[in-house]
Chains A and B, each alone.
Chain A
């Protein structure tokens, strides 16, 4: 069922061949049988069943009033708020926390009759590339359970990979949707910064964070993006640009200039097989009539350093709200306020989060601010200018999603630097605020998956959907 498009499902619903209740029951069964993968933090079982029954009844009574996502079952990453439901950012800090309001994205999904089936595991506060930094333990890759699914939206990617829902909402600050999607052989997409409201998305780095989508059917992802995008009075950074009809405007015949970022394909740590498979996809695009344009990228070595200075700075500021007072973990037997802050934060946060808070505090501290924080903001400008220059020559830029395949759980190098450096292929889109989509390359020799990444200029997601739909068509 997982590869059926919503259109096909809705056709079956209209013919009475299947009910929403049956769809939900099938997914719940799948969730039960894949429990060992540690995909979900919370499954909203009873509620999903009730909602499904209500939707089946609504369809019987008023078929003309059904929402556009009627029949769609969606998982949300454990950083996305849903009123009166638990959300914990996979952290002890928020253990037991229940959302007081819903994120704008969730509100809009529900309004179109989607069913939210549960919250998915992730790296704590979305900080990580492997899903190993979760309070609940790692999520496992469904293709090879001893391997990581990628991160930070690892649970989200596996929720789709294992067939427990049709679309997963994740969040992408430096690749956290695209990299796990590539490791789990599914499609992952981060829209333009500001396309989707961040209201109700737990903040990591506010000028980078964006809700992203994971799925197997391009058309469904386009439809969901269309539903959840657009201006929102609760997020002053969200774009007021009109939301295009991503879904109905998919055009696999649109011919494009596709830039090939050689600086990334020739990266010293680039896996040879992923490179070959990516190049093969590009050749197939050329055969389909797209023009390939070789491109270089001068600032490649500065992307990861720039990204970690800025995101940790923003994180140290954003996470200062977790003080043990208003909500979240509070240390016990404390007699003064200063110790209450320190003990609560120290007990509540995991090591990776502490590392990033400390680094962010450093780059913002007096004496280092100009040399690190402001310097990195200037480099971000140089990077953005270079990307803007490339988009004056091409419509889409192609590069691999990751330089290598997933690693074994627990194998992560003790030195975080090498893990940080592996983010180089994905952070570029977040530094520039541009949309990017990872399309699966299929299985390699070790039965592991990877992806090819397509980036377009801001607010030109339609180019990415067109190519993704074309690749889907060719498969």
Chain B
């Protein structure tokens, strides 16, 4: 399968990346080659085969829904790149003028 510019742009947007023109060219070539290798799976007849979604034996092992305080505010914010206590700040999301 051929990966074209349009598909690269679409994937880039879905993956929230913005590649440089050089990176896009590398990506186009690499993804085309990798998909060439991956397309091998099309040879396999999977009619009637159930997909294997979980490799663990017990599914949905949940603990009781009890609230716990495992982290302080300071700890939770320790690695945030931009903080105005006690919040994490980001660029303005809502523009009131619009």
Contacts and interface: CB of A to CB of B under 8 A. Distances in A.
A335 B41 contact: no
Contacts of B41: 302, 305-306, 309, 372, 375-376, 379
Given A101-B70, A308-B38, A337-B90, A342 B49 contact: no
B21 interface: no
Interface stretch (A132-140, A162-170, A234-242, A394-402): A234-242
Nearest to B12: A358
Contact of A100 (B27, B53, B60, B75): B75
Nearest to A335: B91
Given A236-B61, A355-B27, A361 B51 contact: no
Range for the number of chain A residues in contact with chain B:
35 or more
Residue among A329, A362, A372 with the highest chain B CB neighbour number at 10 A: A362
A327 B11 contact: no
A377 B41 CA distance: 11
Given A305-B38, A328-B79, A361-B14, A194 B27 contact: no
A110 interface: no
A354 interface: yes
B46 A378 contact: yes
Nearest to A361: B15
Contacts of B7: 362
B50 A325 contact: no
A290 B16 CA distance: 54
A101 B76 CA distance: 10
Residue among B19, B42, B61, B82 with the highest chain A CB neighbour number at 10 A: B61
A239 B34 contact: no
A211 B55 CA distance: 15
A59 interface: no
Contacts of B44: 299, 302, 375, 378-379, 382
Interface residues of B, number: 57
B79 A98 contact: yes
A357 B90 contact: no
Interface string B46-89: 10011111111110111100000011000110111110000010
B69 to A, nearest CB: 13
B18 interface: yes
Given A302-B41, A365-B14, A381-B51, A233 B91 contact: no
B37 interface: yes
A304 B15 contact: no
B81 A100 contact: no
B26 A342 contact: no
Given A302-B41, A374-B51, A375-B41, A100 B63 contact: no
B30 interface: yes
A380 interface: yes
A208 B14 CA distance: 24
A308 to B, nearest CB: 6
A356 to B, nearest CB: 10
Residue among B30, B34, B51, B54 with the highest chain A CB neighbour number at 10 A: B34
Contact of B37 (A355, A375, A417): A417
Contacts of A207: 53-56
Given A355-B30, A365-B11, A343 B18 contact: yes
A16 B94 CA distance: 68
Contacts of A378: 44, 46, 49-52
A345 B30 contact: no
A330 interface: yes
23 contacts: A98-B78, A194-B56, A207-B55, A207-B56, A236-B62, A305-B40, A306-B41, A309-B41, A325-B81, A328-B79, A335-B91, A336-B92, A342-B16, A345-B17, A357-B15, A358-B12, A358-B27, A375-B44, A377-B53, A378-B44, A379-B46, A380-B51, A380-B52
Given A101-B71, A239-B57, A326-B79, 10 more contacts: A301-B40, A325-B81, A328-B81, A334-B91, A354-B19, A359-B34, A375-B46, A381-B50, A381-B51, A433-B56
